[in-house]
């Protein structure tokens, strides 16, 4: 048990160090880089009044010595005060929370689909290794791996929105509609707008899950306990279901979390192409609008989310897999 | 030359047949003594690798695909009817015609010619960015793995940061914050700095296992310095792995360039042509709503084609060099 606690604490400590380094990187990138930090954090726009500039200056502690600025930054981060968006003149955090719900809807739906479909096809491919399904799914995986997600999303719009007008080309809801209070029509409107973006994000990422599941299952299939199970006279289906798949699932736990970083990349591109107003869209728009506070906060929000997801997966794996405890 | 006791030495020993003319080339290059021996050895290794590589079907398909793209880049001047920035005389944004096979873009430039020329910068960015990230990743991996201890700990925590932040997010922020405008140099740097962390991990793991091996111990016993051991004993044995990894990274770097260009942070289309910024131009010109599909479809397929080529080659090499991946 002692070694379990040690592994546990070590993972926790590593995650905390990574988190701290991300905080420092974020601070450094937006302030100490060449160029006047005041100019970066204060919008260069004549229509912005001096009182706004003054509020930003105070909020970020600009003009004070760097260590003091860093402490102010840490405090602001801890209290989720990221200043005002230059473009919307509203608190950055409120704006990002609003975007976050759309990203969660998109990434959540797609994740369930990509994990489900990816694992199923990985299992089928490994089961009949070298067969038609295996070869076909490998070709499919490689083709979409080689394809830029944004381009695939554009192709979806061209085919299923322009050529055959089945779905809207963008947005999360029809213009003027709101999500709440939810009723059947609003839900269908949401789904209608979600189909193409979710398809783009899902199909682009299935490959990773399918390949990993396949590899993992093939590894397990060569283990001796599988031979034993077969020798006991169990059917091929039972060997797969009760002995191989449960053991092959373990690596998936870590990989699902690791792949989150890639899924986020795909989500950014998908949101941008479909004008789906989530975090990715907000981040890319922030670069167009030179909206530094939004960019800085979004970067931090995403990095922290991924670090936490990785940590949870690590800890879950310790709990699930006794072999990890032995290291 | 027994120092190079890696996997590569054992593959097919039938390459002696034509050392005659290779030896003559070595003489022509005025190589002598150990340099000549090295040259002959390198040639023999190359031939051995080629013998194994030839048997990989995917590898050969990838190679042919790559040669097509390289041909496109090399002979762009003779294939294309117009230069990349040459006014065609046709109006702006016209559909395909016998004069302009893929129509013209916002500036009245010939899209077909630009797609062909685009192969040059897209390949170049992919190669140089990969060199940057491989260099950085190898350096960090070698140091981390060889030293171990607290220095390894520090380097790995830094690597973790780059590993954990989603690549596109890091790229967007770096491209936006760093000085240097939209120059190709900056784009290469941004892609390179985003992609080194997994290489560092792979190299580190390999170095960890290598430094316990007998030939390293022997070198240390006869008094070789750290630098010598890393350079002569460890690096040559990690190199095949780095090489296979590099080929796969070229594919990712080309994808990165196109994505960065798509979000308007890539090289400007009036300065250089890449497939990424041709697509960005198409988006800016509302090619999708106007129905100018050829403008989007062709550059995108070019990206898929070249990325597939590098991926095939990379997989084939990985299967040769990475003992874990050999068919059971």
Q: What is the pLDDT of residues A229-240, one digit of tens each?
A: 888 888 888 888
A181 cis-preceded (ω within 30 degrees of 0): yes
B174, B265, B308: residue with CB nearest A146: B308
Inter-residue contact A86 to A289 (CB < 8 Å): yes
CB contact under 8 Å between B304 and A147, yes or no, is yes
Note the pLDDT tens digit of each residue in B224-277: 888 888 888 888 888 888 888 899 899 999 999 999 999 989 888 888 889 998
Closest Cα of chain A to B171: distance in Å?
A: 10
> Considering only alpha carbons, which residue of chain B is nearest residue A20?
B161
Please state the φ and ψ torsions of residue B2, each to the nearest 5 degrees. Answer: -75, -10
The pLDDT of residue B3: 38
- Averaged pLDDT score across all residues of chain A: 83
The pLDDT of residue B62: 92
Distance between CA A107 and CA A112 in Å, rounded?
A: 9
Distance between CA A127 and CA A217 in Å, rounded?
A: 8
Which helix (H) or strand (E) is B306 found in, with range? helix B293-321
CB contact under 8 Å between B169 and A268, yes or no, is yes
Note the pLDDT tens digit of each residue in A248-295: 887 777 777 777 777 888 889 999 999 998 999 999 998 888 788 888
Positive or negative, the CA dihedral A222, A226, A232, A233 is negative
Measured between beta carbons, the chain B residues lying within 8 angstroms of A262 are 166-167
Q: List the single best residue of B159, B161, B308 to mutate versus A (max A Cβ within 10 A).
A: B161
pLDDT at position A309 over 90: no
pLDDT at position A34 over 60: no
Q: What is the DSSP code (8-state) at residue B8?
A: G
**B189 — pLDDT class (breaks 50, 70, 90):** very high
Q: What is the dihedral of CA A90, A92, A93, A98, to 10 degrees?
A: 70
Across A88-92, A178-182, B139-143, B219-223, least confident range: A178-182
Closest Cα of chain B to A217: distance in Å?
A: 14
pLDDT at position A35 over 70: no
Q: ipTM > 0.90?
A: no
Per-residue DSSP letters for A94-148? HHHHHHHHHHHHHHHHHHHHHHHHHHHHHHHHHHTTTSHHHHHHHHHHHHHHTS-
The structure tokens listed for A136 are 């076909």
CB contact under 8 Å between A145 and B311, yes or no, is yes
Q: What is the dihedral of CA A269, A274, A278, A280, to 10 degrees?
A: 20
Positions of E strands within chain A? none
* More confident: A59 or A132: A132
Per-residue DSSP letters for A53-77? HHHHHHHHTTTS-HHHHHHHHHHHH
Measured between beta carbons, the chain A residues lying within 8 angstroms of B313 are none
**A200 — pLDDT class (breaks 50, 70, 90):** very high
Region B311-324: what's the mean pLDDT? 81
Note the pLDDT tens digit of each residue in A186-199: 888 888 889 999 99
**B20 — pLDDT class (breaks 50, 70, 90):** low
Closest Cα of chain A to B15: distance in Å?
A: 33
Closest of B304, B300, B269, B272 to residue B284, by C-alpha: B269
* More confident: A146 or A4: A146
pLDDT at position B1 over 60: no
pLDDT at position A174 over 80: no
pTM of the model: 0.85
Residues 6+ apart with CB under 8 A from A198: A106, A109, A110, A113
**B156 — pLDDT class (breaks 50, 70, 90):** very high
Closest Cα of chain A to B216: distance in Å?
A: 25
**A320 — pLDDT class (breaks 50, 70, 90):** confident
Percent of chain B whose pLDDT exceeds 70: 91
The pLDDT of residue B6: 39
Closest of B61, B126, B59 to residue B313, by C-alpha: B59
CB contact under 8 Å between A264 and B164, yes or no, is no
Closest of A248, A287, A314, A207 to residue B174, by C-alpha: A287
The pLDDT of residue B213: 85
Residue linked to tokens 């279901």: A241
A154, A222, A264: residue with CB nearest B288: A154
Closest Cα of chain A to B177: distance in Å?
A: 7
Distance between CA A29 and CA A41 in Å, rounded?
A: 12
* Cross-strand partners of A106: none
Distance between CA A147 and CA B305 in Å, rounded?
A: 9
CB contact under 8 Å between B169 and A158, yes or no, is no
Region B62-76: what's the mean pLDDT? 91
pLDDT at position A88 over 90: no
Closest of B307, B285, B308, B306 to residue B296, by C-alpha: B285
The pLDDT of residue B9: 40
Region A45-60: what's the mean pLDDT? 69
A14, A33, A261: residue with CB nearest B167: A261
Distance between CA A306 and CA A279 in Å, rounded?
A: 14
**Number of neighbouring beta carbons within 10 Å of residue B59:** 21
pLDDT at position A202 over 80: yes
pLDDT at position B212 over 80: yes
**Residues composing chain B:** 328
What would you report as the CA-atom Rg of chain B, rounded to the nearest whole angstrom? 23
* Cross-strand partners of A84: A91
pLDDT at position A92 over 60: yes
Distance between CA B326 and CA B328 in Å, rounded?
A: 6
> Considering only alpha carbons, which residue of chain B is nearest residue A289?
B176
* More confident: B4 or B289: B289
The CA-atom distances, in angstroms, between B86 and each of B14, B77, B82 are 53, 12, 6
Residues 6+ apart with CB under 8 A from A6: none
Note the pLDDT tens digit of each residue in B98-129: 777 777 777 778 888 889 999 999 999 999 99
Closest of A45, A85, A77 to residue A61, by C-alpha: A77
Across B149-153, B196-200, B269-273, least confident range: B269-273
The pLDDT of residue A37: 53
CB contact under 8 Å between B264 and A158, yes or no, is no
Distance between CA B36 and CA A296 in Å, rounded?
A: 56
Inter-residue contact A35 to B180 (CB < 8 Å): no
Q: Is A203 left (phi over 0), alpha (psi -120 to 50) or beta?
A: alpha
A14, A34, A155: residue with CB nearest B157: A14
**B325 — pLDDT class (breaks 50, 70, 90):** low
Distance between CA B169 and CA A264 in Å, rounded?
A: 8
Distance between CA B213 and CA B236 in Å, rounded?
A: 14
Region A84-93: what's the mean pLDDT? 82
Measured between beta carbons, the chain B residues lying within 8 angstroms of A272 are 262-263
Could you give all domains of chain A from N- to C-terminal order, each with its CATH number? 2-78 (no CATH), 94-326 (1.10.3720.10)
The pLDDT of residue B285: 84
Note the pLDDT tens digit of each residue in A65-77: 778 888 888 888 8
Residues 6+ apart with CB under 8 A from B199: B133, B134, B136, B137, B138, B141, B242, B245, B249
Distance between CA B261 and CA B275 in Å, rounded?
A: 9
- Averaged pLDDT score across all residues of chain B: 83
CB contact under 8 Å between B291 and A162, yes or no, is yes
Q: How far does Cα B65 stand from its chain's mean position?
A: 15
**B88 — pLDDT class (breaks 50, 70, 90):** confident
The CA-atom distances, in angstroms, between B147 and each of A10, B20, B159 are 20, 44, 16
> Considering only alpha carbons, which residue of chain A is nearest residue B292?
A158
What would you report as the CA-atom Rg of chain A, rounded to the nearest whole angstrom? 24
Percent of chain A whose pLDDT exceeds 70: 88
* Cross-strand partners of B104: B110
Q: Is A187 left (phi over 0), alpha (psi -120 to 50) or beta?
A: alpha
CB contact under 8 Å between A33 and B179, yes or no, is yes
The CA-atom distances, in angstroms, between A10 and each of A4, A6, A181, A253, B147 are 10, 6, 45, 19, 20
Distance between CA B27 and CA B17 in Å, rounded?
A: 18
B296, B297, B304: residue with CB nearest A146: B304
pLDDT at position B16 over 50: no
Closest Cα of chain A to B298: distance in Å?
A: 11
The pLDDT of residue B21: 67
The pLDDT of residue B5: 39
Measured between beta carbons, the chain B residues lying within 8 angstroms of A31 are none
Region B27-34: what's the mean pLDDT? 72
Helix axes A250-273, A184-221, angle to 10 degrees: 140
Note the pLDDT tens digit of each residue in B179-188: 777 889 999 9
């Amino acid at each position: 048990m002692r070694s379990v606690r040690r592994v546990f604490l070590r993972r926790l400590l590593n995650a905390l160090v990574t988190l701290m380094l991300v905080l420092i990187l974020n601070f450094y990138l937006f302030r100490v880089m060449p160029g006047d930090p005041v100019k970066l954090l204060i919008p260069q726009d004549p229509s912005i009044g001096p009182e706004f500039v003054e509020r930003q200056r105070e909020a970020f502690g600009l003009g004070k010595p760097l260590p003091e600025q860093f402490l102010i930054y840490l405090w602001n981060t801890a209290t989720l005060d990221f200043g005002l968006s230059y473009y919307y003149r509203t608190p950055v955090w409120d704006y990002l929370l609003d975007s976050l719900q759309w990203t969660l809807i998109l990434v959540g739906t797609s994740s369930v689909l990509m994990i489900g479909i990816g694992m199923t096809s990985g299992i089928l491919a490994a089961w009949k290794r070298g067969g038609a399904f295996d070869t076909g799914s490998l070709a499919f995986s490689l083709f979409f791996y080689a394809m830029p997600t944004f381009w695939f999303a554009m192709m979806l719009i061209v085919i299923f929105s322009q050529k055959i007008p089945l779905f809207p080309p963008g947005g999360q809801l029809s213009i003027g509609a709101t999500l709440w209070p939810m009723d059947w029509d609003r839900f269908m409107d949401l789904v209608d707008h979600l189909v193409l973006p979710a398809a783009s994000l899902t199909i682009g990422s299935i490959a990773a899950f399918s390949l990993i599941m396949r590899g993992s299952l093939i590894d397990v299939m060569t283990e001796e306990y599988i031979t034993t199970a077969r020798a006991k006279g169990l059917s091929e289906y039972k060997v797969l279901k009760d002995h191989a798949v449960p053991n092959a699932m373990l690596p998936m736990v870590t990989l699902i979390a690791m792949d989150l970083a890639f899924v986020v990349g795909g989500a950014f591109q998908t949101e941008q192409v479909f004008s789906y107003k989530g975090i990715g869209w907000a981040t890319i728009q922030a670069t167009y609008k030179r909206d530094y506070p939004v960019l800085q906060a979004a970067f931090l929000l995403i990095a922290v989310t991924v670090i936490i997801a990785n940590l949870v997966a690590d800890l879950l794996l310790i709990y699930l897999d006794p072999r990890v405890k032995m290291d | 030359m027994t120092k190079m006791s890696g996997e590569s030495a054992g593959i097919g020993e039938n390459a002696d047949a034509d050392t005659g003319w290779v030896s003559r080339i070595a003489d022509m290059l005025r190589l002598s003594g150990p340099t000549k021996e090295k040259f002959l050895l390198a040639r023999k290794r190359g031939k051995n690798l080629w013998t194994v590589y030839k048997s990989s079907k995917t590898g050969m398909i990838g190679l042919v695909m790559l040669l097509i793209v390289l041909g496109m880049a090399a002979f762009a001047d003779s294939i294309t009817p117009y230069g990349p920035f040459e006014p065609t005389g046709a109006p702006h944004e016209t559909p395909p015609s016998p004069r302009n096979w893929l129509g013209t873009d916002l500036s009245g430039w010939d899209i077909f010619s630009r797609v062909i020329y685009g192969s040059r910068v897209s390949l170049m960015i992919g190669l140089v960015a990969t060199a940057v990230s491989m260099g950085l990743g190898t350096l960090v991996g070698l140091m981390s793995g060889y030293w171990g201890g607290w220095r390894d700990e520090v380097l790995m925590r830094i690597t973790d940061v780059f590993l954990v932040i989603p690549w596109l997010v890091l790229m967007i922020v770096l491209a936006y914050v760093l000085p240097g405008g939209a120059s190709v140099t900056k784009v290469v740097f941004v892609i390179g700095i985003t992609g080194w962390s997994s290489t560092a991990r792979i190299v580190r793991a390999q170095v960890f296992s290598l430094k316990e091996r007998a030939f390293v111990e022997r070198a240390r016993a006869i008094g070789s310095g750290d630098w010598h051991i890393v350079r002569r004993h460890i690096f040559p044995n990690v190199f095949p792995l780095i090489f296979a990894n590099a080929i796969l990274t070229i594919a990712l770097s080309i994808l990165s360039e196109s994505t960065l260009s798509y979000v308007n942070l890539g090289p400007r289309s009036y300065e250089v042509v890449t497939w990424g910024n041709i697509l960005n131009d198409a988006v800016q010109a509302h090619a999708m709503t106007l129905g100018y599909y050829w403008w989007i479809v062709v550059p995108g397929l070019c990206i898929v084609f070249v990325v597939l080529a590098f991926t095939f080659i990379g997989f084939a090499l990985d299967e040769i060099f990475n003992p874990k991946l050999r068919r059971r």
